[in-house]
């Protein structure tokens, strides 16, 4: 198939600004199946610029599935039809000749559209600023083997830390919940010794900001885990909920 170009029709969301009314614009392309999805958008933009037209605004940086900026909803699925990859890792070989592809930004109240396919994900930044760090004065750095950590616990912490903050969990959830993101960021510290001094203060602060940003509640549909490009487990949501309840008990504030 690699020698046969694909003829595709794309319906791409165009929106001039946050307060403007958006609509889908149609583009026809002929592209190699070995081309990545973002390279295909680059080529469309090259053609638009040659014609003196406004290029399609979309985000990307690393193009290696690391930074999380490239999130798009493709045919209604966050990052497209292939599980556990970011949009930048998606190639056109995963589509069929003659197919119509719908491309739109991640949809959520907390992710307002900036322009075209770009959304404002600064709500995630505010959650991280609230508690996604370790600030306790730990003194000198201990030897690597001084604080033993069971291998299974260390692996869980690493898995949680793999979250790239792309927002696919929010875009996929019918309630636009950020619980998987926050659960992962809480867990990556809660599982390790360095995160213990601020463990319960951290979860309260991050959940508070999450609610203030307008994200919805979790109703356990598992859609977030299914669409997460890093396969973050919803076990992190359960851990966050336990820590949140424990934090209320420890501060004798039981008005749950």
- Looking at the domain assignment, is residue 255 inside a domain? no
106 plus 128 within the same structural domain: no
- Looking at the domain assignment, is residue 256 inside a domain? no
Domain count across the chain: 2
More reliable by pLDDT, 253 or 84: 84
174 plus 225 within the same structural domain: yes
- Looking at the domain assignment, is residue 239 inside a domain? yes
HSE at residue 41, side-chain half, CA atoms within 13 A, is: 25
Spatial separation of the C-alpha atoms in residues 248 and 203, rounded to whole Å? 10
CATH number of the domain that 105 lies in? 3.10.20.30
Q: Is the pLDDT of residue 1 over 60?
A: no
CA distances from 253 to 19, 184, 196, 209, 244 (A): 41, 24, 20, 18, 11
Range of the domain at 133: 122-250
- Looking at the domain assignment, is residue 56 inside a domain? yes
CATH number of the domain that 188 lies in? 1.10.1060.10
127 plus 238 within the same structural domain: yes
Chain segment 23-60, per-residue pLDDT in tens: 999 999 999 999 999 999 999 999 999 999 999 999 99
86 plus 109 within the same structural domain: yes
| Angular region, 65: left φ>0, alpha ψ -120 to 50, beta rest | left
Question: What pLDDT sits at residue 139?
Answer: 61
78 plus 130 within the same structural domain: no
- Looking at the domain assignment, is residue 200 inside a domain? yes
Chain segment 107-162, per-residue pLDDT in tens: 999 999 999 999 999 999 999 999 999 886 656 666 766 788 899 999 999 999 99
Partners of residue 10 on adjacent β-strands: 27, 101
For residue 180, give both structure tokens.
Answer: 């998987």
- Looking at the domain assignment, is residue 147 inside a domain? yes
Question: What pLDDT sits at residue 11?
Answer: 98
pTM score, whole prediction: 0.92
Question: What pLDDT sits at residue 253?
Answer: 56
21 plus 49 within the same structural domain: yes
Residues 6+ apart with CB under 8 A from 52: none
Could you say which of 70, 94, 114 is where a domain stops?
A: 114
Residue given tokens 């995630």 in the structure block: 124
């Amino acid at each position: 198939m690699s020698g046969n170009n694909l003829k595709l029709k794309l319906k791409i969301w165009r929106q001039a600004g946050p307060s403007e009314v958006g609509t889908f614009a149609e583009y026809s392309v002929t592209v190699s199946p070995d081309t990545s999805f973002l390279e295909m958008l680059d080529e469309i933009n090259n053609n638009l610029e040659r014609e003196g037209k406004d290029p399609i605004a979309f985000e990307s940086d690393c193009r290696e599935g690391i930074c999380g900026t490239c999130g798009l909803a493709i045919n209604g699925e966050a990052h497209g039809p292939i599980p556990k990859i970011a949009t930048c890792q998606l190639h056109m070989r995963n589509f069929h000749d003659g197919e119509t592809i719908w491309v739109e930004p991640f949809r959520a109240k907390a992710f307002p559209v900036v322009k075209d396919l770009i959304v404002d994900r600064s709500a995630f930044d505010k959650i991280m600023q609230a508690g996604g760090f370790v600030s306790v004065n730990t003194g000198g750095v201990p030897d690597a083997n001084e604080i033993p950590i069971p291998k299974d616990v260390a692996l869980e912490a690493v898995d949680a830390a793999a979250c790239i903050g792309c927002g696919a969990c929010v875009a996929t959830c019918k309630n636009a919940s950020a619980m998987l993101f926050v659960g992962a960021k809480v867990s990556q510290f809660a599982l390790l010794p360095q995160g213990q001094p601020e463990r319960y203060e951290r979860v309260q602060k991050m959940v508070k900001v999450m609610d203030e940003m307008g994200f919805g509640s979790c109703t356990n549909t598992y859609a977030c885990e299914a669409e997460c490009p890093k396969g973050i487990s919803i076990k992190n949501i359960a851990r966050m909920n336990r820590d949140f309840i424990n934090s209320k008990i420890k501060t004798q504030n039981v008005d749950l």
